[in-house]
Amino acid sequence: MSSYYQIVKPFGVIDEILKTMTRRNLSPVNFKINSGNEYLALKITPENLNNFDNSVKDLKIKYKSISTDVFEKLIQYAYNNKIKIRKITTEPIEEEIDKEIFDDYFIKRDFDHLIEFINDKRIVIKKIDLSFESNMFSMYESGIIWSENELSSSPIKELVKSLLSFF
């Protein structure tokens, strides 16, 4: 079953934050990064969507967004680790830019020059769609992750953990 998750950075006693989030049905997934940082992925459900911000406003967390620089690192990581990039959504959304990205860079698997192209054209990446071991997921500029499978399951959890190291 597909799910959406919001990436946040917790501050304070992580165990207390996790207990509170679990009580509030936010189904947190904890990611401990090699750098010592911790991130949480909070599951967004139809039941908690309307009250999501209120559910977290008293917690010591910061919403994480994904900059174009981080997306560029994700593209390079995906390329180096044979993770399929299915689509990159940009702003401004221009058909000719999308076509150029696909024709000149995706088909040729020329991701080094894709990053140069993004920088030269000052393209803002809004979303990247990836596929890994038959699991599809997307990362949005807003720090939202969509996964067709539960984020807490392997191998997706390990992959997201690796990607969060670029934050």
The residue extents of the domains of the chain are 3-64, 68-138
Count of C-beta atoms within a 10 Å radius of residue 139: 23
Q: Which CATH architecture group holds 3-64?
A: 2-Layer Sandwich (3.30)
The answer to whether 127 and 141 have CB atoms below 8 angstroms apart is yes
Greater confidence (20 vs 93) lies with 20
**pTM confidence score:** 0.84
Report whether 156 contacts 149 (CB < 8 A): yes
Cα–Cα distance between 78 and 95 in angstroms, integer? 24
Share of residues in the chain with pLDDT > 90 (%): 29
When pLDDT is cut at 50, 70 and 90, the band that residue 15 belongs to is very high
Q: How many C-beta neighbours within 10 Å does residue 166 have?
A: 16
pLDDT band, very low/low/confident/very high, at 94 (cuts 50, 70, 90): low
